[in-house]
Chain A
Amino acid sequence: MDDAELVRRCLRGDASAWENIVRTHTRRIYNLCYRFTANRQEAQDLTQEVFLRVFRTLKSFSSEYGTLTVWLHRVTRNLLIDHYRATHRDRLTVSLEDELSRIEQKESAAPQPDHTAALRELSITIQQALARLSPELREAVILRDLQGLEYREIAEVLDIPEGTVKSRINRGRAELGRILKRWPGFDFPASVSQQ
């Protein structure tokens, strides 16, 4: 069933169609929110808010906007921008560091197998490094490399030409690599999973 048909069924009051949409997309939207806020609680609240907005504006969905995935990402991104503006930049970074140090303490308390521990540490460090990228580079890198969207889809979400998308993603990756290279104590092998 294509997205337009699913939305039409939702609008006719078919609860199972809406449930289908929620269950299919919650994980990606939650992950997107988490990568931007680095806070699980905020990510949950934002995910709920996204679906509430989508539910209220379902009528305005049309397949010319692209797929449901693109539309959901666009709604999420707009919400994240609002959220970013509303929460003071300083407060955001402070809460990010608090949250991360809390996670680190909590998670380092229990001994982990080497592999999982290395991956978790990598995840936390990358999250912190991502927060240092400029927002426009960060969102491009997250949408491509963590959310797995196509370049064309990202161009639709961000409403910019595909060439600009590519250049932002590549600059973002290079900047992230530079930040990680200089990261104190960051000593990961080229590939953790190949250990």
Chain B
Amino acid sequence: MKWDCAQIEARLSDYLEGRLDAEEQRAAQRHVETCPRCAEWLDARQALVWLQQLEPLEVPLGLETRILAQTTGLAARPTFWEVLTAGWRAFQQPRVALGLAAALFSISLVLQALDVDVRKISAADLRPTNIYRKLDRTVHVAYGRSVKFINDLRLVYEIRARLDALRPLVEEPEKEQAPAPQAPRNEKKDFSEDNESGKLYAYLPPKTTRSP
């Protein structure tokens, strides 16, 4: 079967909406794909395929009830069933599920940080006084730990400072015996003047005095 432009024109809507029978549809498709005059209907068909995939929006919660209230003056309250279905629809959205998962994750992190084991929780633990006591204890323990940590740090620094103060006394005699050439202790050393390091930093431009 072969179609021409006139046939396409006569049955364009049927072709675009896929209402031709299989053989006619193939013939129409072949013609449209090869005829420069009918080529625009390929775009039309593609547009229709995309359009058909759009899903209608849901009615926003309470719109129907607002309309009824506005027209008949009935009480503008969504029915229990409306609230329930709207809530369930919202709940099914991936955004909500992800948010819920994120919230659970952060709650579990906080519980872990507070040293709470959900499996061992009892009714007594939920009493405000017990919660307060537990929180108070956790805060005190955390405070105690940080104070100890800072004190330890202070001690470490003090020991290091003392050692640094002692070092010149220990190293002076060594220097007199044999000056260690490779110990790069002097941090202001210029690499381009140092032969050893000069190899390593060969990519640096050699330090030259610029002539005026």
B45 close to A177 (CB less than 8 A)? yes
Taking CB atoms, residues of chain B closer than 8 Å to A177 are 40, 42-47
Most buried by B among A30, A55, A166: A30
**Nearest-neighbor residue (CB-CB) of A186 within chain B:** B50
For chain B, residues 64 to 89, give those with C-beta under 8 angstroms from any C-beta of chain A.
64, 66-68, 70-72, 74
Tell me the smallest distance from the CB of A79 to a CB of chain B, in Å.
14
Q: B residues touching A (Cβ–Cβ < 8 Å)?
A: 12-13, 16, 40-60, 63-64, 66-68, 70-72, 74, 94-95, 98-99
Q: Is A110 engaged at the interface, CB distance under 8 Å to the other chain? A: yes
- Tell me if A19 and B68 are in contact (CB < 8 A): yes
A101 within 8 A of B: no
Taking the closest CB of chain B, its distance from the CB of A59, in whole angstroms, is 14
Asked if A112 and B55 make an inter-chain contact with CB atoms under 8 angstroms apart, the answer reads no
Q: Which residues of B contact A176 (CB under 8 A)?
A: 43-44, 47, 51
The A/B interface has a contact count, at CB < 8 Å, of 119
**CB-contact partner of B12 in A18, A112, A151, A170, under 8 A:** A170
A31 on the B face (CB < 8 A): yes
B193: shortest Cβ distance to chain A, in Å?
A: 57
A interface with B by C-beta (< 8 Å): 15, 18-19, 22-23, 26-28, 30-31, 34, 40, 44, 47-48, 51-52, 55, 110-113, 116, 119, 122-123, 126, 141, 145-146, 151, 166, 169-170, 173-174, 176-178, 180-181, 188, 190-193
Q: Give Cα A122–Cα B71 distance, bound, in whole angstroms.
A: 36
Set B12, B52, B68, B98: member contacting A145, Cβ < 8 A: B52
